[in-house]
Amino acid sequence: MQVLSYDEAAARAGIVRRTLERLISLGEGPAIVEISSRRRGIMESDLERWLNARRRLPPGMRESESHQPSRLETSAA
């Protein structure tokens, strides 16, 4: 179980930190962990779950053709 900083989570998602913060404030981002009154982070598993929930297939592609291990899945091996 690893807690990522906003910068780390944004980098893994391929977005800038401000976009991540905006999505979180709109209730559309991953769940956050309040580490202290001034420090927040995102659990690696919550980020992965959020990214998978936002996944969309290109038109004409079947689900069976689309699975490729994520960066997190391949780095855990």
Predicted structure pTM score = 0.72
Cβ(44)–Cβ(4) below 8 Å: yes
| The total number of structural domains that make up the chain | 1
Whether residue 46 is contained in a domain is answered as yes
State pLDDT tens for residues 15-58.
999 999 999 999 999 999 999 999 999 999 999 999 999 988 88
Strands 40-43 and 33-34: antiparallel
pLDDT of residue 60: 81
Q: Is residue 31 part of a domain?
A: yes
Question: For residue 5, what pLDDT is reported?
Answer: 96
Q: Check which CATH number belongs to the domain holding 35 and give it.
A: 1.10.1660
In a domain, 71, yes or no: no
Give domain status of residue 76, yes or no.
no
3-state DSSP call for residue 26? coil
Q: Does any domain span residue 13?
A: yes
Range of the domain at 21: 1-54
